[in-house]
Amino acid sequence: MTARPLSDHARLSINDATTKVQWTLEEEIAGYSALGVHGISIWRDKLAACGVAKAARMLAEHGMTVTGLCRGGMFPSDTAAGRQAAIDDNRRAIDDAATIGAACLVLVVGGLPQGSKDIGAARGMVHDGIAAVLEHARAARVPLAIEPLHPMYAADRACVNTMGQANDLCDALGPGLGIALDVYHVWWDPDLEREIARAGKERLLAFHICDWLVPTRDLLLDRGMMGDGVIDIPQIRGWAEEAGYDGFHEVEIFSSENWWKRPAEEVVAVCKERYLTAV
């Protein structure tokens, strides 16, 4: 069922990669809030530049809901020391997510280790890496959200590429683990409706939105504004709502040649407008 149009911005969040080039985290917290956007998702590089304690204070002062911290993951490595370093880094990310009150830590799970052609082994390392940090996440009350990435990133960013794979990991590893559904990565999947229903309210921890442009000129940095591409976002939102999802909708647009070149205020204004017409 296609979702009914949204009528206000109460559940609009902006992932701070959307204004990555224009604004610092301090400017984003103040700017989004002043422009009527009360949800934010934060990348760790900007969080580190601001300082975790200062960010937590500013987020509270501005009444922002933190819909996610990006990102943990990147578990596979060709050495045991490399895999342990990833586990340690994920534990630090969990602690930071707890400090800023993030609704989840988004996991971009990682691709093939250097020189490897064994994607099955990489997927095993992802399973084992998540298993190694899950207890820490549960204790910190930070849910881990596996974000399946489009298969074009299977080698270098994430070897978990479908909602079905993410659901299988959740089945295997249990509570404290869920899924970040990003329409950009999963819109093409013939099993999408069924796997969203399978995930259900419990596992659907985040809903990321942007659009798939035709043609796409860059595999990483040419995401479209909602409404400018081919993704039926209301359809996918409808499936998520049927499954019980009632959380924020997080705009996440990496766009080096378009949106990152425009004033941040304009980008936020267009996000708000398209949120009501194309989401």
- Interface residues with Zn ion (CB under 5 A) are 182, 208, 252
Range 218-221, long-range pairs (CB < 8 A, 24+ positions) = 218/256, 218/257, 219/152, 219/153, 220/254, 221/254, 221/255, 221/256, 221/257
Report the Cα–Cα distance between both ends of the chain, in Å, rounded.
14
Q: Which is nearer to Zn ion, 58 or 108 (CB)?
A: 108
At 107, phi and psi to the nearest 5? -105, 115
Q: Which is nearer to Zn ion, 58 or 225 (CB)?
A: 225
Tell the smallest beta-carbon distance from residue 204 to Zn ion (Å).
13
- How far from 266 is each of 32, 42, 179, 220, 223, CA to CA, in Å? 11, 20, 31, 22, 17
241's tokens: 């709502």
At 35, phi and psi to the nearest 5? -90, 10
Within 8 A by CB and 6+ apart from 213, the residues are 222, 223, 224, 228, 229
Within 8 A by CB and 6+ apart from 216, the residues are 222
Q: Which is nearer to Zn ion, 39 or 83 (CB)?
A: 39
Tell the smallest beta-carbon distance from residue 153 to Zn ion (Å).
11
**DSSP class of 214:** S
Q: Which is nearer to Zn ion, 44 or 208 (CB)?
A: 208
Residues 240, 197: Cα–Cα separation, whole Å: 7
Give the position of tokens 């020391």: 81
Tell the smallest beta-carbon distance from residue 193 to Zn ion (Å).
19
Residues 241, 179: Cα–Cα separation, whole Å: 15
Tell the smallest beta-carbon distance from residue 252 to Zn ion (Å).
5
Q: Which is nearer to Zn ion, 58 or 158 (CB)?
A: 158
Tell the smallest beta-carbon distance from residue 262 to Zn ion (Å).
21
Q: Which is nearer to Zn ion, 100 or 107 (CB)?
A: 107
Q: Which is nearer to Zn ion, 73 or 176 (CB)?
A: 73
Tell the smallest beta-carbon distance from residue 76 to Zn ion (Å).
20
Tell the smallest beta-carbon distance from residue 121 to Zn ion (Å).
25
Residues 118, 85: Cα–Cα separation, whole Å: 21
